[in-house]
Amino acid sequence: MQKYDELQIAIDTARKAGSILLQHYGTELDIKTKENNTPVSNADHAANDFIIKNLTAHFPYPILSEESVDDKKRLHMEKVWVVDPLDGTKDFIEKTGEFTVAIGLVENNQPILGVVYRPTTQELFYAKKEGGSFREVEGKPQKLSVTTTGSVSDAKFVISKLDSKHTGYMDRIGAVNRMRVGSAAYKICKVAQGEYDAYFVIKSRMSEWDDCAAGLILAEAGGVLSDIFGNSLLYNQDNTSRTRGTIASNKNLYTNLLQKIDPIAKEEYSSL
């Protein structure tokens, strides 16, 4: 098989998948509800089919994707693609514009490259391990760096939704500056970009494909991604769900945030 540049192929694939999504955007969608009570549409499947076909044409690595059957063969492989063809399906359906394509490559359970693309703004975020992370718009790449804010009360938080339970958590820890943004991958990239200081969820429906690509982008920008107990996140696992929440933060804020969240985390996971 011809040798291809993994990052460039991932970028090209994400952009083309984004174009496919835009062809469906604003049209009458065929929407179904998955077993985990989240929506999936024909747009998700169209983008997924293209990504699988294109990555498979260039590389022999197995693919873990939100919208494909997981046959577990990937567990015996060193390199695995981890893909979310449409991160933010609800935002896609509601036409907020805040949805992304996320493609990560994992080697020995750790991400080594990540690409997150937002089709509606043509924002491209990408990173390669030990190569820095970048945001590119109109062909102009800018190196990313997280903020240095260390105070939870001063920090700007990006959140998924303003539901009463999560708002209550934020009130308890003194996180007063909050902004709702769609797509989990996009939120993590916004922390990497330095537009926000942190993002966290105590309990979520997130899985490896939500944070794989964006997590490397954050790490290469100087940030930290972990579960709410401070444990590093692993990839290409048998259970792909994030069963103990997620924190994405700059390093200065991270320890303070963990300490403030700890009592809440222990309450919510007391039965584990």
Question: Residue 174 and residue 168: Cα distance in Å, rounded?
Answer: 10
Compute the distance between CA of residue 27 and CA of residue 184 in angstroms, rounded to an integer: 24
- CB of 125 within 8 A of CB of 214? yes
Query: Are both 33 and 121 inside the same structural domain?
Result: yes
- Which CATH number is 119's domain given? 3.30.540.10
C-alpha radius of gyration, the chain, whole number? 18
Q: Is residue 148 part of a domain?
A: no
Residues 122 and 230 in one domain: no
Is 149 among the domain residues?
Answer: no
In tens, the pLDDT along 57-100 reads 999 999 999 999 898 999 999 999 999 999 999 999 999 999 99
Max distance between CA atoms of the chain, in angstroms, equals 55
Alpha carbons 208 and 235: distance in angstroms, whole number: 6
Q: 143, 171, 204 — which closes off a domain?
A: 143
* Mean pLDDT (the chain, rounded): 94
Q: How far is CA 144 from CA 73, 135, 151, 155, 223, in A?
A: 35, 7, 21, 18, 10
Are residues 16 and 103 located together in one domain of the fold? Answer: yes
Name the pairing type of β-strands 177-180 and 198-201: unpaired
CATH number, position 232:
3.40.190.80
Element (H, E) at 49: helix 42-58
Same domain for 63 and 135? yes
Range of the domain at 173: 156-268
Helix axes 251-268, 164-173, angle to 10 degrees: 120
Q: Are residues 138 and 10 in the same domain?
A: yes
Q: For residue 1, name the pLDDT band (cuts at 50, 70, 90).
A: very low
Residue that terminates a domain, selected from 108, 143, 178? 143
Confidence of residue 35 (pLDDT cuts 50, 70, 90): confident
2 pLDDT band, cuts 50/70/90, is low
My answer on whether 18 and 118 are in the same domain is yes
Domain identity same for 94 and 176: no
Q: Is residue 15 part of a domain?
A: yes
Indicate if 94 and 165 belong to the same structural domain.
Answer: no
**136 and 173 share a domain?**
no
* pLDDT number for residue 46: 97
Tell me whether strands 133-137 and 140-143 are parallel, antiparallel or unpaired.
antiparallel
In this structure, are 11 and 133 located in the same domain? Answer: yes
Comparing 123 with 161, which gets the higher pLDDT? 123
Contact 43, 24 (CB under 8 A): yes
Mark whether 164 and 233 lie in a shared domain.
yes
92 and 162 share a domain? no
pLDDT digits (tens, 9 = 90+) for 153-187: 999 999 987 677 888 999 999 999 999 999 999 99
Q: Is the pLDDT of residue 36 over 90?
A: no
Whether 136 maps to a domain, the answer reads: yes
Indicate whether 165 belongs to any domain.
yes
> How many independent structural domains does the chain possess?
2
